[in-house]
Structure 1
Amino acid sequence: AFDEAVGPGRPGPRPLRLGHAWSAFGPYTTPLLRAWQERYPGTPLELLRIDDRTAGLTRGEVDAALLRGPVEAPGLVTEVLYTEVRVAAVTADGPLARRESLALADLAGGPVVLNPVSGTTTVELWPPHTRPAATLTVGNTDDWLTAIAAGRGSGVSTTSTAVLYPHAGVAYVPLDDAPGVPVLLARRDAPGHPALPRLAALAREIIAR
């Protein structure tokens, strides 16, 4: 990736690699990328989707990562940037799609689609007496959407998924009783890319606008 960024035989700054598993920086993704390019054109910011709970950070594939937490991984330093509201994802032509809002118990009567590889939803989100009757496991966001659109189950995600992953076969409905999901900026607890402090500062600035 470095050679491709600077060209063979041409010295240049190392790109700052920012990983994410899904939804990146939510509605702030484009403002962050544009502001970075304007302020720091000499240091490319590469946004990389990696289907992994830490978006490749623990394996050294990226310098920092936008994660949805909580994330429990040794050797990481995290900062909560903001919190996203959870929503239900249901089949677009099903009865739940016509509701103005839903509760977690409304989803428990049928299968719930879970992404244990990089998702934040587990059966522990539901109270013990209303946990889903069945679950379907997938490995990434694309397969999660496909399963819900096909009527194989419902799902729970956040508002950024509704914005960044519209799907003709999926309806996103507000959830009244689900806790929010913190969005984290994570890095390894070790010396890293010299531009990491600038990335953190710019992320905070964009949210505050």
Structure 2
Amino acid sequence: MAVHDVGIRHLRAFLAVADTLSFSQAALQLGTNQSSLTRSIRRLEEMLNTRLFNRTTRHVSLSESGERLRDDLVVLLPRLETALVPDTTETTLRLGFSWLLPDGWVQAAIARFEEETGVGVDLVHRDERLAGVDRETVDVALVRGRPTANGMHVVEVDSEPCVAAVLRTSPLAAHPRLRWADLADHPLVLNACTGSVGVEDWPEGHRPRKTVTCHNFDECLELVAMGKGIGLIPELVLRRQLHPAVRFIPIAGAPDVPLNLVHPIHGTHPLARRFTTLATATKAAGYGTPALRRSVA
């Protein structure tokens, strides 16, 4: 055995016996049995290659090596244990997003995560393709579409149909539901930075002949409101009043857009994977969109 095999439990066991000079009292203090405590002390002595206690059937005393180790550990072990306990008052997980957060399950997952870990979640809006996770400005990102990013762990949690965003005064706004053919003659407001749907997602024969480029969700809405074209937006906008000049209308046969949680494979926040796993489980448990989708279908 080597020194690097020494564990905190061995050191705690040693200090308990050094303090009480009794294996039975130390075992009671640690909530263990005497035979297990004796094995821990014996392993520690083997790893350090020295005798720490002088033992007889009636008496236990510290050896010279034991006294030196006790004097050092009385100072060092509490500091080590404190260093290994995270200061949750200053620790947060940064969750990046570029578009609207989905209804229900994200909020439930955040609340559950904060309750279980004591770590707060900071929401960070980033107008970037990967919402800042590739630049390390966030720890986990909620990304729509099919992101391709080396060194990233991508988990598809949900998917969302698209709806059309149209000017309220446009003839299209009179339709309760649109077809791709209805949209083909209208310019497409294309979110080139954080958009999840491109011209290639439209059916052959109905693709728009003109596009107007923007770089984020707000610009997309404002361009639609100015009559510059139509936009394709996640369907959760049907449940929110986002712009007085824009109406959101379902599209027959609209493609489902994947909704992913993304975090780095290496060098990630220690709780990033836990958040992703918990959020996936929360969505699978039925929080969020299914009932709401039925209400707007």
- State the alpha-carbon separation in 2 of the partners of residues 13 and 164 from structure 1: 34
More helix by share: 2
1:65-120: CA deviation from partner (whole Å, max 9, x where unpaired):
01002111211111110111111111122211121211222111111101010001
2:269 is the counterpart of 1:190: no
2:101 is the counterpart of 1:24: yes
- State the alpha-carbon separation in 2 of the partners of residues 117 and 130 from structure 1: 23
Q: Match of 1:202?
A: 278
SS of 2:133's partner is coil
2:217 is the counterpart of 1:141: yes
| 1:18-97 → structure 2 map (5 Å cutoff) | 18-40=95-117, 42-97=118-173
Decide whether the 8 Å contact of 1:26 with 1:164 is kept in 2.
no
Where in structure 1 do 4 or more consecutive aligned residues deviate above 6 Å?
Answer: none
SS of 2:115's partner is helix
- TM-score (norm: length of structure 2): 0.62
- State the alpha-carbon separation in 1 of the partners of residues 205 and 168 from structure 2: 27
- State the alpha-carbon separation in 2 of the partners of residues 26 and 170 from structure 1: 20
- State the alpha-carbon separation in 2 of the partners of residues 165 and 185 from structure 1: 26
2:129 is the counterpart of 1:14: no
SS of 1:132's partner is coil
Unaligned runs of 5+ in 1: 1-10
- State the alpha-carbon separation in 2 of the partners of residues 64 and 77 from structure 1: 10
Decide whether the 8 Å contact of 1:25 with 1:66 is kept in 2.
no
Which shows bigger deviation, 141-150 or 161-170?
161-170
**2:176 corresponds to which of 100, 114, 117:** 100
- TM-score (norm: length of structure 1): 0.87
Decide whether the 8 Å contact of 2:153 with 2:263 is kept in 1.
yes
- CA offset at residue 127 of structure 1? 3.0
Percent of residue pairs bearing the same amino acid type:
34
- State the alpha-carbon separation in 2 of the partners of residues 162 and 14 from structure 1: 36
Q: Which amino acid aligns with 1:187?
A: H
1:26-54: CA deviation from partner (whole Å, max 9, x where unpaired):
443332333333333x3111111100010
Unaligned runs of 5+ in 2: 1-86, 287-297
More strand by share: 1
* RMSD of equivalent CA atoms: 1.8
Decide whether the 8 Å contact of 2:145 with 2:197 is kept in 1.
no
Decide whether the 8 Å contact of 1:78 with 1:184 is kept in 2.
yes
Distance 1:20-1:44 versus aligned 2 partners, 3 A rule: same
